[in-house]
Amino acid sequence: MADCCTGGVKLLYSCSGAADVGQIADGVSRKLRDRAFARMTCLAGIGADLSGFVESAKGADVNITIDGCPVQCAKKTLERIGVTPLSYILTDFGIEKGKTLPSEEIINSLSDRIMRNEPTASGVKSSGCSCGGIC
């Protein structure tokens, strides 16, 4: 929902890809939205070059992408419009593409870890800014 007159707007995008990790990314994103970690919006709107989504991304204080795998479709979609997001890749948290059954338990666990800003398997917390995920 459109918000007005509030500072620190964080927008959240999920890759929501076809693979199991894409499905998990979608679940994690919705969980983070429900926990008010950030406001989820549509990556497809960016891909379709719809001006409202594009300008919202450019106007947000922070854009966060949740990608299931290192292909990073969500992150790269944002980068195409000149926006560098704070990026999370779920396989960096130790789950395997093609071998991870999407479950509420995994979604909750990954959501918790992102909210706690835990280091990922690769040791990279995030990219796109130096805030460590707290901005």
Partner 1 sequence: MLLEILGTGCFKCQKLEELTRQAVKEMGLDAQINHVKDINAITNYGVMMTPALVKDGIVKVAGKIPSLDEIKKLLS
The residues binding partner 1 (CB under 8 A) are 1-6, 9, 11, 39, 41-42, 45, 50-56, 58-60
Q: Which residues have C-beta within 8 Å of that of residue 47, sequence separation ≥ 6?
A: 77
- Smaller CB separation from partner 1, 50 or 101: 50
Whole-angstrom distance, CA of residue 51 vs CA of residue 123: 35
Q: Which residues have C-beta within 8 Å of that of residue 101, sequence separation ≥ 6?
A: 20
Whole-angstrom distance, CA of residue 44 vs CA of residue 57: 12
Shortest distance in whole angstroms from residue 25 CB to partner 1:
19
Shortest distance in whole angstroms from residue 107 CB to partner 1:
23
- Smaller CB separation from partner 1, 2 or 18: 2
Q: How far is CA 65 from CA 4, 5, 28, 88, 124, in A?
A: 22, 24, 11, 6, 14
- Smaller CB separation from partner 1, 55 or 96: 55
Shortest distance in whole angstroms from residue 130 CB to partner 1:
22
Shortest distance in whole angstroms from residue 1 CB to partner 1:
6
- Smaller CB separation from partner 1, 9 or 71: 9
